[in-house]
Structure 1
Amino acid sequence: MIISLVGMPGSGKSTVGRQMARQIGVPFVDSDAEIEVRLGETVREFFERSGEDAFRDLESEVIADLLSGPGDFVLATGGGAVLREANRQALHQHSAVLYLRSSPEELFRRLRHDTQRPLLQVRDPLQKLRELYAQRNPLYRSCAHFVLETGRPTVTGLVNMALMQLELAGLLDPARVAATVGAERAERN
């Protein structure tokens, strides 16, 4: 089984994905990290040198390769992966897609000091996040099987909610999820 995470930059896809993969005992894959391995340079460097269209072409190729490969894993996609119809279709057809929904204001609080995200290196990052959200939210929703609000829960809480949704849908063996129930409470004690 492949579990894919989609959402805006800074919504927690990599953080949640890494912990989710650890909980269910499968590898974690970050599509941006895979792209960097292929390129031998950072996404930001490639993006600045070659532009967004070239990056999106490579991103589509990497996502298609990952989804057609063997094995179970959790995949964190880049925030703009849903911009291409082919990516949305491939993600929806070949994985269980979780949309980590965050408001632009929430994202701004998390990302205001981040200098590594090319699309946010603008004069008014909050306005840019609002524009990206308006454009992308319908696309995330169209390919998602599940939508999780990221506003209040801790990372552990989000992981637990995601795993329980997958279990309730019959997509995940309950034996893999049982160890996570109550884990957040146990961590506090």
Structure 2
Amino acid sequence: MKSGIIYLVGMPGCGKSYFGKKLSSELDCALVDLDKVIEEKEGMEISEIFSSKGEDYFRKVENEVLKETTEECGFQIISTGGGTPCFHNGIDYMNQHGITVFLETDRELLIERIARKSHRPLMQGDTEARVDELLKARLPIYKKAQISIAHREVDLLLNDIKSLRS
């Protein structure tokens, strides 16, 4: 591994932010939320970027921010956007520069969580159909992550990460 970075990847609503907070606390390291960095850089929310500048523009900025954040020194956890691994060879880049952790989540739980948050730009309309569409497209990419966890305790994930770091 070339750096001390842990990338959390997975579908919107899978718990990347939640697990990121838990891991950063347990491992005593910084947590970077890629979407928040993008919002700060662009001066608008993700949904506004999508509606005013389009998805292609967003993905370009997302890739730039991923690389800038990765180049920063130090041990850190990066909570990525749901599409980050899926564009511009994101998963391959992350696998080369750190530990990638795919947070697998049941389809039904994703739908329930996403339905509660209306600000997700790629989840407008029929939530179930959209989740199914994204799962079909993204799951093979997420599965390239070095660690895959499904309903596991943070302690088990910590053990996996500690063993990869040693």
Query: What TM-score results when the alignment is normalised by the length of structure 2?
Result: 0.93
CA RMSD of aligned residues (A): 1.2
Alignment match, 1:140: 142
Higher relative contact order (CA 8 A, sep 6+): 2
Alignment match, 1:121: 124
Q: Alignment partner of 1:112: what SS?
A: helix
For 2:106 and 2:140, the matched residues in 1 are separated by: 13
CA positional deviation for 1:85: 4.0
After the TM superposition, which parts of structure 1 deviate over 3 Å for at least 4 consecutive aligned residues? none
Report Cα offsets for 1:66-121 as digits up to 9, x if no partner: 11111111100000012224322211011100000113222002221211101111
For 2:135 and 2:106, the matched residues in 1 are separated by: 8
Identity of aligned pairs, percent?
Answer: 32
Report Cα offsets for 1:28-63 as digits up to 9, x if no partner: 000000001101111111111111110000000000
Structure with higher Rg: it is 1
Pair 1:88 & 2:83 matched? no
Q: Structure 1 unaligned segments of length 5 or more: list them.
A: 173-189
Q: Structure 2 unaligned segments of length 5 or more: list them.
A: none
For 1:33 and 1:112, the matched residues in 2 are separated by: 21
Query: What TM-score results when the alignment is normalised by the length of structure 1?
Result: 0.82
Alignment match, 2:74: 71
Alignment match, 1:149: 150
Counterpart residue type for residue 132 of structure 2: R
For 2:20 and 2:39, the matched residues in 1 are separated by: 18
